[in-house]
Structure formats: structure tokens, C-alpha cells
Homo-oligomer: A and B are copies of this chain.
Amino acid sequence: MVRTTISYKDGHIYEFSPDIDPIYTAEDGESLTFETIDSLNKEIQSDDDLLDSIPEEVNAATGPVAVEGAEPGDVLKVEIEDVRVNEAQGRVVTAPGFGLLQDNDEIQHPFTRITPVDESTETIEYDGIDVPIEPVIGTIGVATESETISTLTPHDHGGNLDTTDMTGGTTAYFPVFQEGGLLAMGDSKAAMADGEMCGTGSEIGTDIDVTVSVIDDPETSIERPLIRTPDAWKTIASAETLEDAVALANEDLIDLLAAEHGMTPTEAYTFSSLVGGLEISQVVDPLVTVRNACPAEYLSVPF
């Protein structure tokens, strides 16, 4: 199978908006490779390269790619087949005014630590400690309904979701707000903790294999991203506070459970309190992001 590669060199965005211009139009069902640059645009190459502030242009997202036939109200299905690091080192950094513990006097801001890749062991190294490479696509999303949103910010269109499940083996579903959907992605990490506490994982360039397709006139409409990992369905919600985000993610899961099982909202709510549950994606971006996981045996494909 010939797989077209879409590189950040071909085009990338720093904002998701309603009117981003596609750099490529994919057929419904086409398999592509997205080549991404690290979130800091290759500017951090040694421990001495410090980030005095978050750059205005950060999290370059390769794309956007239009998908033929995608219309507002549809769902864009993105099967993530593989994510491979494509450079010899990642970097984890702090920056002033950024990160969970940005006001903690014991923590240095800025600070950089280069994490070299060992291809033979599929690990990165943090000061002699080997950490398995478990790549994450930090930013992935589609053209927005009306707002212009920095690639540093997550919202209902996706964007900077910083969700560890966004990796090979997961299928992501996005609401389509604009014709073609207009998919873009970048800001990958070689490894990232749930929470992304210091504000970054091991930021690194990647090659991402995906297959994109359109779910036309879906039975279930979604307002926010939804993912199917190998084990679970997970709703994803971003909001100003974790409290607001978990309520949204729970409401979205209740809708899915109610539709699947013919439950009332109250039944779906109490059932959701028994299995899977709330997870943290990131607590450091302009909006924070959480998920609500439901083991796959309790939900089938809702479309």
C-alpha cells in the first residue's frame, strides 16, 4: 500500500480555526503518515538551551489534511496505527509561569534535560535511568466550529489534549465542524506521565501512521473527542478546572451508556460509578483535560 507522507515541512499550523487551509486532501479511508516536529521547533538541543518563556509559536501541528466527504455533523475517525520517534533525542523542560508547580520555589524555571534515544532498547535515558519509549501525540484535532484556538490549548475540537492514550492502537473520533474535517497533529512525546506535570513530556519529532475515514450521518453525535483504546472507550473533555472537566467527561459517557443499554441517565450515571472511571490527561495547559474510561465490554461502537 502506498502511503502518502504529510510533513510539517509541507505545512503546519499554530492555531486551529474554522478556516484553516488544507495542504492535502485524503480519500475517505486513506492511510497516511504525518511527520511531526517537536513542540519546540528543534530549538532545544542541549541542557543549556533554556526556555525563558513559552514561545508564541509552539506545538506545530502538521497539516491540516482534509478528508473527502467530511461534512459538519459527521464524525472523523482516525485510526492511529503507529507512532515512531524520528530523532535521536527528546527534551523535557520547565519554563517560567508554566507547569503544575510553577510557584514552587524549590523548582527551577527554566530547566532543560535532554533525553537521548536508545533505538536498540527502545528507551530514552534520563540521567542514567532508562524509560521505555511510549509515544504520545500531544496535539491532535480538527478545524473548530467558530473560535481560533492556539495549538497550546485543548477544547472540543481536540488540540492540545496531551492524552497518553493518543498512540498506536487507539482510534480517535472527532466531531466534524467544517467541510473536510481538517485534521492536524504534532507535539509528540517519547514518554509522558498522565498529568504532564512539569508542562512537557520528552518532546520529540515523530512519524505517525493513521487511516482517516468519515462516519457519515452518525447515529450518535459527539460534541468532543472520543477514543477507543485496546481496552476501553474514553470520553475526553477539557475545561478551565478539573472539576468542570470531569463533569463533562462523565456526562458524555452517561450519554453513550444510556444509548447502548437503554438506561435512564440516572442508571447510566450510577453504572458509570462502578467501572473504569475518571483519568487525568493533563493539568498544565490553558484548559485542563480529563477522560472518563469505560471498559470496552460495556460499550460497542456508537456510530
Residue numbers of A with Cβ under 8 A of B are: 92-94, 99-101, 104, 106-108, 111, 113, 115, 124, 126-127, 129, 131, 164, 191-202, 241-243, 246-247, 250-251, 254, 261, 263-267, 269-280, 283, 290, 292-293, 298
Q: Is the CB of A92 within 8 A of B250?
A: no
Q: Is the CB of A193 within 8 A of B113?
A: no
Q: How far is the CA of A278 from the CA of B288 in the complex (A)?
A: 13
Q: Is the CB of A195 within 8 A of B250?
A: yes
Of B195, B246, B263, B273, which is within 8 A of A273 by CB?
A: B195
Q: Is the CB of A280 within 8 A of B108?
A: no
Q: A94-B269, A269-B198 are in contact. Are A274 and B242 (CB under 8 A)?
A: no
Residues of chain B with a CB closer than 8 A to A131's CB: 274-275
Q: How far is the CA of A81 from the CA of B247 in the complex (A)?
A: 34
Of B104, B275, B290, B292, which is within 8 A of A191 by CB?
A: B275
Q: Is the CB of A127 within 8 A of B263?
A: yes
Q: 9 closest A-B pairs (Cβ-Cβ)?
A: A194-B277, A193-B277, A195-B278, A242-B242, A198-B273, A106-B265, A278-B280, A108-B266, A195-B277
Considering residues A265, A269, A280, A293, which has the most beta carbons from chain B within 10 angstroms of its beta carbon?
A269
Tell me how far the C-beta of A253 lies from the nearest C-beta in chain B, rounded to whole angstroms: 9
Residues of chain B with a CB closer than 8 A to A271's CB: 92, 126-127, 129
Residues of chain B with a CB closer than 8 A to A247's CB: 100-101
Q: Is the CB of B272 within 8 A of A193?
A: yes
Q: Is the CB of A193 within 8 A of B275?
A: yes
Q: A94-B270, A129-B271, A274-B126 are in contact. Are A100 and B246 (CB under 8 A)?
A: yes
How many copies make up the complex? Answer: 2
Residues of chain B with a CB closer than 8 A to A200's CB: 273
Contacts beyond the supplied A100-B250, A127-B271, A195-B246: 18 A-B pairs with Cβ under 8 Å: A92-B271, A92-B273, A101-B251, A107-B269, A108-B266, A111-B270, A115-B274, A126-B271, A127-B267, A193-B273, A194-B279, A194-B293, A196-B273, A197-B250, A201-B273, A241-B243, A242-B242, A277-B280
The A interface is mostly helix, strand or loop, or mixed, namely mixed
Q: A94-B266, A101-B247, A242-B242 are in contact. Are A197 and B108 (CB under 8 A)?
A: no
Q: A193-B275, A274-B92 are in contact. Are A266 and B107 (CB under 8 A)?
A: yes
Q: Is the CB of B94 within 8 A of A278?
A: no
Residues of chain B with a CB closer than 8 A to A280's CB: 246, 277-280, 290
Residues of chain B with a CB closer than 8 A to A254's CB: 101
Q: Is the CB of A193 within 8 A of B265?
A: no
Q: A265-B106, A279-B194 are in contact. Are A270 and B101 (CB under 8 A)?
A: no
Question: Can you report 12 residue pairs joining A to B where beta carbons are below 8 Å apart?
Answer: A101-B247, A101-B251, A101-B269, A104-B251, A107-B269, A126-B270, A129-B271, A191-B274, A195-B246, A195-B273, A198-B273, A241-B242
